[in-house]
Structure 1
Amino acid sequence: MHWRSWDLNLKVRLFGELITHTFFWMYFPFMALYFSDTFGKDVAGLLLMVPPLLGMLSNLFGGYLSDKVGRRFTMLLSLSMSTVMFALFTFSTSPLMDYFAFIGIGIAGALYWPASSAMVADLTTEEDRRIVFATFYTAMNIGVVAGPVLGSFFFVHYRFELLLVCTIIELLYLIAIFFLIKETLPEEVRREKAKERFSLTQQFKSYSIIFRDKVFALYILAGIFVAIGFMQLDIYMALYVKEHVMSQPLFSWGDWSFSIGGTSAFGWLMGLNGLLVVLFTLPVTQWFQHWSDRNSLVISSVLYGLGMFLMAFTSNIWLLFGCMAILTLGELIRTPVAQSFISKYSPEDARGQYMGASSLQFSIGRFIAPMTIGLSQWLAPVGVFGIILAISLVSAYLYIVLFRMIPSEQKG
């Protein structure tokens, strides 16, 4: 599916999500460090468990809303909320207000993604979805290349200016969605949903039907284990690099050398992750497009856990770059396959809700993930990274069980 043949909705959103994610990654990776320094590690670990819990409910509501009233309306609601929350964050005068705004931004994002993913699925054919989802994933991660590196400077020294620009960017994207994006929820589905009474009871009734699907429930469980490990990039890995990676030369020439360590080393590691995602998402998707969903998901879990675990044995920045390359390969194999799997598996009239329910794996994973900060008080790095590896291997096993169940479900 060539870029020129894409629907205008996809083009506008691809560009908008590219810009918003660039600024998102200039502040987000440093929030765990900011709250740890402000409130202490134990309190920060508890505080960081709250936004994912609220995001969990927002994901479900966002999926329900996108099926009930439309993808476009849900995205506009999300961007309106995020604009207000970024403005509050910008002009905040206390750490508690910062935390409240951070929660609001997370809730807004959780509302947005089920509608966004459902819109991509609405506008693409099954054979094109992996590539289109991979392209969106590449665009989102272009921000990851420069974001953490720039953020390690701007968030520390020019936080007000950075957050003010984030507020303006969210507002401009809101305006673009309002004027340029058309609704993609099929008209017959919208008419059918309009007959249903809008209520929280109806929403949770719809989701109870989804979660009685054993295959989908197991898919969510496996994804939760993956997400716990994946979220450690900006939680435990950030803490590990800050405390154990001392200042060391990255490049040297004669008497000149460029050294990084601590927070700056973390920024460079996240920048490498983003660079690899940008350069290799589409090639890796094409290389592995003939692999089954099962093999792709299993191998990706193993690679991610292994790359994370190997970090425990070194504080050398170049070896850490190698570990980052291994776990990023796992990330690149997994992401387009996971998004395409839900698009294929979900019925058209409940696509938004399936996308919202699928997002639960990341919300629940982020809710549990900060526990590693507390564990780091009692365990050595090899112990914490060992737990992350074990969790990743459990997810790989669950994917194997999942795909054994699918043929029998289809026959049934």
Structure 2
Amino acid sequence: MFSKILIANRGEIAVRIIRACKEMGIATVAVFSEADRDSLYVSLADEGVCIGPPKVQDSYLNMAAILTAAVQTGAQAIHPGYGLLSENARFSRLCRECGIVFIGPSPELISLLGDKDTAKRTMREAGVPVVPGCELVQDEETACREAQRIGFPLLIKARAGGGGRGIRLVEHLENVPGAFQAACAEAKAAFGDGACYMEKYLKQVKHIEMQIICDHFGHVVCLGERECSVQRKNQKLLEESPSPFVTPELREQMARAAAAAAGAVQYRNLGTIEFLVDSERNFYFMEMNTRLQVEHPVTEMVTGLDLVKWQIRVAAGLPLGFTQEEIALSGHAIECRINAEDPANNFLPSCGKISLLHIPGGPWVRFDTALYTDYVVPPYYDSLLGKLIVCAQTREEAVRKMRAALCELVIEGVTHTAELQMEILSDPEFLDGTYTTGFMEKRGLLC
């Protein structure tokens, strides 16, 4: 087992990883930008190293600075969290070259599955259903020709996309050239890779993801599904597990497909297979995320497993301590993301000093955050303030528990989305579980 781990991330996920390491008796190193010098995770870590100015390009994406910090502090492994460098194959490869364990899959797997076009071909060959579409498109003329073959509406998607960037919805042929150019340009700016492909846009679908974990001894375990259909511009706002839409039969089918997907590439560590599911409960592979997901706490709540600890154990070469037959979902969990944004003002980001903070409590209520009173929310990073998670015996009880927790949550000093989450939880379509990825748009909350 590792004796020291460097956390190459910030905010609530850095706090989350540090807590897991403390419980495992592992020393931690926090890296931070000048803007994050007074952050909670920095004070919780055993050591801290400043790696640059506030901008992510100069700090949290500065591979040389992070690796230098790891070598100088004697860290044996790096946990990348989510976002930032967590799915960067070059960073994973550099870790390996420096003799440092990257807590995640190999650079080869990250490259393979990060290329969404190649990933879809791989899954198709493994017998996993995929959304109808085409492979990489080289120019506007080809895009128009393929669009006519696929049919409208369709999505133009970046090969290296993520977080909703590099995606354009197209409903008419005349809009294809402009949308193709825009998607390629956005992908090039965001990921350094402007390659795009196209696929059929499935309306009224559910976004369901299956959590898997695989060790180095060939064991693949599926930890059930998460319902992620409440989204704004392809960014998830609320997640729950289990999905109110997934039947036991469908769960078993999707778990088998997820295991087949993992087996097809000999996957290692934690991963998530994302599917789109139509009204007839047909499911289609969308992508695979080769990292810890933001919404991992709902899976932890219903399985009783600490996913961060198991990531670390697997990376250290230990076998899984459980089998597929031992996994049983218990209760119902919901996670609400609380973002520093103003829903009444086009979701304008908010920053400033936290003048008052009260975190909800009670049985099976959890708030993953890096906030504290007088903390200054900086303008440079993701707007996530924290994740409020609850678990109860039934979905109805979980909804009531989440409403109570949201009512108790107090964050003053910045504008945030807690009231929006209350609206979502009170909507009849959410309550009956029939909501789809178009839920927010139908309510005029997509702007």
Instruction: Quickly name the TM-score band, shorter chain normalised.
Output: under 0.3
After TM superposition, the score normalised by the length of structure 1 is 0.27
Q: Which structure has the highest helix share of the two? A: 1
Q: Which structure has the highest strand share of the two? A: 2
